[in-house]
Structure 1
């Protein structure tokens, strides 16, 4: 009996491994010329003076002072510069249903998933409520550094390409109860009144003002930031759920000091830790499956105005988003 059971178990593992190796993982490396919303780096401001805007939205962010100073080594001690602000395409986030699939790297399967690894999915509960689950990957994607533009000239700040986060290795990403370890405040917002306030965040995020930073528990039109996991309740579309899980991961990375503030006056000389993410300081732009280069969207902005035709009607679709962060720096 034990031998027979062992054979059946071995056969199941072999069959599973065959299906895992054949798991769908499509994608392509983004074209930095045609797939990037280059006008989205605007408005470009010197202090409060707009040098160029091209109709792009800045949100309700602070203006940089016209004259600024940053610490410097002796004997200078301080360097005087000009306050500059712009939007920098600096990160790429993937929301995938196949574990370790990297669509941004050309559809590369980084690691064959373990039989115990949770797969992404979207499904119905009791034939009524729809739910979904996505894994999220996070990359340093320093386009400005590659192009020697602004950040490593005027603002003296450069980075290199790197894969810095895989939710497959994050034990709290799969389970809502474990996520409470990093976000115990979630219990304060698990009530109808708090969730009703998110409608105001949805309206603001879809306007020129951008999302409401005081409503830290809201993800605008995409639902709630809590729990900070890949589990999405009230799944409406793959586009909505992928954007929500990307925002949740970004919020968690701020909480863990992996992602830093670059938007406020206090971060003009160098990025600083900001445990509560400033939602207004980020925009997303779809790269995959179909690049959208007309504009970038604030976190929580409705997808009704731009999402039509941006995904294929395929179950298990993977997504890639370019993250624009607002940079306020002291240019020398």
Structure 2
């Protein structure tokens, strides 16, 4: 029995070392460092003209084309332009999942006080309800064109430029995020997937996500985080890190439904509106409360990234259970 327990401990430790890169502790209330915090290797592989120029052993969605040339429409009198397809993974957005309403861990500050309506709008933590443990998280979405902010590659046509840090969405003011039943009015298709058969099918997506990549055809699933629906901050999961990751994944889908997130990995000539997401085109790196130098695809199990992911940080606003993730999106463009 003792040998079996010892082997179990050793096996668990090996899994943690292999699958969870070292996390770097960050002081509470510190802003994201645009130079040292991002996992820059996650932009690879870099492919030019269908040929891999710089490879990478991490996750990346496959290219939509392998042709050495691309042709895009243009206004008269040219009508068309010929270029070379370039693909990589672009760090471009920040997504946060917080238990403290109106707290922004990416920047280390909070709007408003700890009491009153601010607390009522959703500073919820993991709790016990009817014998089942649930989590609730508010979520924030930031436009974060990191290369443009750093003044790098500003002349490169494939990089988002001219934009600034912008808070594009926060759920504290969204009534449907607080209530599962109310959210169904905005996403009536939830009636098609709120059944055991559809939910059991998500097991296939979870297995595929952790072994290969997310299944885009199963858009109602978020791998190991459960279901995309209801579009709220509630999760039937005792694991805070998994629930927080799921909340930011739902924000990706939500921003697509609101036409505020266009997919850059479908067409080399122009981004495409995707009210039904291609979730395989996105991966996320944890920046707060600790920095992990690796990005994971949508729906990945927390077994891969939870090591030292939510350390105790005292009490009060900005303590544990407030997460920030850097979103890498698949970028395919026609360079010329």
TM range (shorter): 0.7 to 0.9
Matched, 1:144 2:143: no
Q: Deviations over 1:105-155 (max 9, x none)?
A: 1x21123464242322210113x2101111101101111223454575132
Q: Is the 8 A contact 2:126 2:238 kept in 1?
A: no
Give the conservation status (yes or no) of the 8 Å contact 1:26–1:108. Answer: no
Q: Which has the higher contact order (CA 8 A, sep 6+)?
A: 2
Matched, 1:299 2:298: yes
> With structure 1 as the length reference, what TM-score do the two structures score?
0.85
Question: Any conservation in 2 of the 1:136–1:249 contact (CA below 8 Å)?
Answer: yes
Query: Following superposition of structure 1 onto structure 2, how do residues 1-332 of structure 1 map, counting pairs within 5 Å?
Result: 26-105=28-107, 107-112=108-113, 114-115=116-117, 116-126=120-130, 128-150=131-153, 152-155=155-158, 157-158=160-161, 159-207=163-211, 209-233=212-236, 235-265=237-267, 268-293=268-293, 295-313=294-312, 317-332=321-336
Aligned partner of residue 87 in structure 1, secondary structure: strand
Distance 2:109 2:147 in 1: 25
Distance in 1 (alpha carbons) for counterparts of 2:79 and 2:160: 19
Q: What is the CA–CA distance in structure 1 between the aligned matches of 2:245 and 2:278, rounded to whole Å?
A: 16
What TM-score, normalized by structure 2, do the two folds share? 0.84
Q: Could you say what secondary structure the match of 2:255 adopts?
A: helix
Change (3 A) 1:47 1:180: farther
Deviation digits for residues 190-245 of structure 1 (CA, Å, limit 9, x no counterpart): 122211111111111112x3100011111101111111100112x22110000111
Residue 191 of structure 2 aligns to a residue whose secondary structure is: helix
Judging changes above 3 Å, is the alpha-carbon distance between structure 1 residues 312 and 286 closer, same or farther for their aligned structure 2 residues?
same
Query: What SS does the aligned partner of 2:273 have?
Result: coil
How many residues align structurally?
Answer: 301
In 2, Cα distance between equivalents of 1:100 and 1:147 = 27
Tell me, which stretches of 5 or more residues in structure 1 are unaligned?
1-24
Give the stretch that moved more between structures: 298-307 or 282-291.
Answer: 298-307
Whole-angstrom CA distance in 1 between matches of 2:160 and 2:143: 13
What's the CA shift for 1:96? 0.7
Distance 1:74 1:230 in 2: 48
Equivalents in 2 of 1:123, 1:104: separation in Å?
Answer: 25
Give the whole-Å Cα distance in 1 for the aligned partners of 2:177 and 2:84: 42
Post-superposition offset of 1:61: 4.6
Computed over aligned residues only, the root mean square deviation of the Cα atoms, in angstroms, reads: 2.0
